[in-house]
A = this chain, B = another copy of it.
Amino acid sequence: MLNFVNDYSEGACPEVLQRLVETNMEQLPGYGTDKYTRSAQAKIAQACGKPDAQVFFISGGTQTNQIVISTVLQQYQGVVAADTGHVNVHEAGAIEAGDHKVLSIPGVDGKLPAPALREYLETFWADENHEQMVFPGMVYISWSTEYGTLYSKAELEELHNICREYEIPLYIDGARMGYGLVAPGADVTLPDIANLADIFYIGGTKVGALCGEAVVFPKGDAPQYFSTLIKRRGGLLAKGRLLGVQFDTLFTDGLYTRISHQAIDTAQVIRKALQNKGYEFYIDSPTNLTFVVLENQRMAELKQKVNFDFWERKDASHTVVRFATSWATKMEDAQALADLL
């Protein structure tokens, strides 16, 4: 059975796991005060080109989004996101459990269109009754998005400028940031992200780690006592080393981006096969997620041999499905899928 159902099917990338084994019996202080965590923080700050950046490690993406949003927003504010954004759809209410509203705007190809964002903000502030409403207090985007698409540098700059104008932070969910950074046609680097975002996280769970995400405040303006705030939401591991060692390894000698290439290379093989065989793409994505329209009978046959993700019903006889690759996808599996299509 071939497996393309998601990008978290395996454990950690071997170098990461190896490092956990090597450091396992070292006695280290807890709660993220160990030397590996410090080293990982420094390496990430450097990779971002932001020596003053503050970096924190949190066990998962939903937890990270909940904590960042609930600690950075004022109580009268909500977070603006595309209606397709992960925080609006697939977090089981974690943002609201953190007491904040997601202010959704119709997304296009998984992205938040800058003109729609501007109009939303203008309309809000022009409304005489806006003090009865939830104030837009942060802009959330994901890069790469849940649809595998990427904002160009120009698009990020436009969102950045709107956020500057309205004095609200731009927050980038980078659960799949590695795959975006090495995607064909991507014109955005990690230092670009660090320049254009006020807060972002670099995803580990989907890119080489057993678990864990690295939250970056590139300007060094994290909320005070942020570690305490992470603990208050249950996200602080006693053995902070688990995250420190992993990210220290991922950010040594460019491992994070190096392993990301595999996801893209294998996705390219699949996309080329789909294209050659005349399949209809649901969306044009350059990263590790491929969305395609399958005729239902064809889908059922394929399902016998391949695990993939149901996305949505297109019409009575067609369905949109998703093939996901990752750092762990074998080229031979991608080729086998290509042959099956």
Which A residues are closer than 8 A to B by beta carbons?
3, 5-6, 8-12, 14, 17, 20-21, 23-31, 59-64, 66-67, 70-71, 74-76, 78, 89-97, 99-102, 104, 128-129, 131-135, 205-206, 210-211, 223-225, 227-229, 231-239, 241-242, 310, 328
Decide: B27 and A94 in contact? CB cutoff 8 A: no
Decide: B6 and A25 in contact? CB cutoff 8 A: no
Decide: B90 and A101 in contact? CB cutoff 8 A: no
Decide: B94 and A100 in contact? CB cutoff 8 A: no
Number of copies: 4
Of B5, B234, B237, the residue contacting A234 (CB under 8 A) is: B234
A333 to B225: give the CA distance in the assembly, Å. 35
Residues of B within 8 A of A90 (CB): 129, 132-133
A94 to B100: give the CA distance in the assembly, Å. 9
Residues of B within 8 A of A238 (CB): 8, 60-61, 205-206, 211
Residues of B within 8 A of A25 (CB): 10-11, 328
Decide: A9 and B21 in contact? CB cutoff 8 A: no
Q: Is the interface of A mostly helix, strand, loop or mixed?
A: loop
Decide: B233 and A94 in contact? CB cutoff 8 A: yes
Q: Given contacts A11-B239, A206-B238, A235-B234, are A93 and B78 in contact (CB under 8 A)? A: yes
Closest 10 pairs (CB-CB, A-B): A63-B234, A11-B24, A92-B231, A9-B27, A96-B101, A92-B232, A93-B134, A8-B238, A76-B228, A3-B27
CB distance from A188 to the nearest CB of B (A): 25
Decide: A132 and B233 in contact? CB cutoff 8 A: no
